[in-house]
Amino acid sequence: MTDTSPSTMTMASAINAGLRAAMERDPKVLLMGEDIGALGGVFRVTDGLHKDFGESRVMDTPLAESGIVGTAIGLAMRDYRSVIEIQFDGFIFPAYDQITTQLAKMHYRSRGNITLPIVIRVPFAGGIGAVEHHSESPEALFAHTAGLRIVSPASPQDAYDMIQQAIACPDPVLFMEPKARYWDKGEVDTSLVLDKLSDADATAALGRARVARTGEDVTLVAYGPTMRIALQAADVAASEGTSVEVIDLRSLSPLDSATVIRSAKKTGRAVVVHEAPTAYGAGAELSARITEEAFFHMEAPVLRVGGFHTPYPASKFEHDYLPSLDRVLDAIDRVMTH
């Protein structure tokens, strides 16, 4: 009998365990990507799966991102569920055409006759001192495209649950993994997602935001890589007498607007934090929605804290580029003074 008691895992190990659970349940779940086989991936997220499931289900691919996505689309038309890994966020762009013009539109174009249950795993964002093209935040480019789901876990437990929900979902899912959080540890209850999820259950679960911390004065919205800084900011603000409610979006597309709006109406103030540039990003979309739906409840404009509208800098400058604790606290102070 399998031991399903909670255990401490890194986020990388939790994704590995979630992939393993999905593959054990469904023999049509396949993994594909560059170096994910015997090597176990650059970040070792797929470590051991090639040995246990064989090369017919865990496949090393050529360095051809467009070809990887195109192959997954063909397999999906034959009822397979492919989980493909883009080795680094900056290398997803050769596959942009396949993702936005084929993967995102095939269900609509076929009037619902074709579904493409494909998961694209993308190690994304910064904080690891990587070289050029290895620390990008392209999520808004894909969230703008109808037909794709964009999700990002912020804890090992969510990583374990959400990768299985994504695989069970009938829609294509970009699973954005905050690479600087791969080694964060947390308790994971592996009994939560064991039975085969229905399409409806998986789809609903993937789209829900989470209130990570309750508060009364300010709503702080974050996801994936910035959840750690958001919770730290809430702790510091509390020590200075400001009660911050922290929302973990989990899903960027679709957005769980109801949870965010409900919180913003309660607190009357909101700050959105993400690593991607603030210009034209997820924070802009959230700011617009809060303004449209909660305008008469707000005591101050919605503020955004994010990366600057420049190419991602050299690694020694990335901590000047990324949202810092001081920048988040400054935004909280500014909305509190209105």
pLDDT digits (tens, 9 = 90+) for 264-309: 999 999 999 999 999 999 999 999 999 999 999 999 999 999 999 9
In percent, how much of the chain has pLDDT > 70? Answer: 96
Catalytic residue among 107, 133, 134, 144: 134
Q: What is the mean pLDDT of the chain?
A: 94
Is 50 exceeded by the pLDDT of residue 146?
Answer: yes
Equal CATH topology for 7-206 and 210-336: yes
- In the sheet where 218-222 sits, what is the strand order? 210-213, 244-248, 218-222, 270-277, 303-307
Is 70 exceeded by the pLDDT of residue 197?
Answer: no
> Which pTM was predicted?
0.94
- pLDDT, position 196: 56
- In the sheet where 119-124 sits, what is the strand order? 58-60, 29-33, 81-85, 119-124, 173-178, 149-151, 251-253
Lowest mean pLDDT among 2-6, 47-51, 168-172, 299-303: 2-6
What CATH number labels 7-206? 3.40.50.970
The dihedrals phi and psi of 155, each to the nearest 5 degrees, come to -145, 160
Lowest mean pLDDT among 147-156, 236-245, 283-292, 311-320: 311-320
Where do the domains of the chain lie? 7-206, 210-336
pLDDT digit string, tens, across residues 215-242: 999 999 999 999 999 999 999 999 999 9
The dihedrals phi and psi of 11, each to the nearest 5 degrees, come to -60, -40
CATH assignment of 210-336, among 1.25.50.10, 3.40.50.720, 3.40.50.150, 3.40.50.920: 3.40.50.920
- pLDDT, position 193: 56
pLDDT digit string, tens, across residues 162-188: 999 999 999 999 999 999 999 999 999
- pLDDT, position 141: 95
Per-residue pLDDT band at 213 (split at 50, 70, 90): very high
The answer to whether 107 is a known catalytic residue is no
- pLDDT, position 203: 75
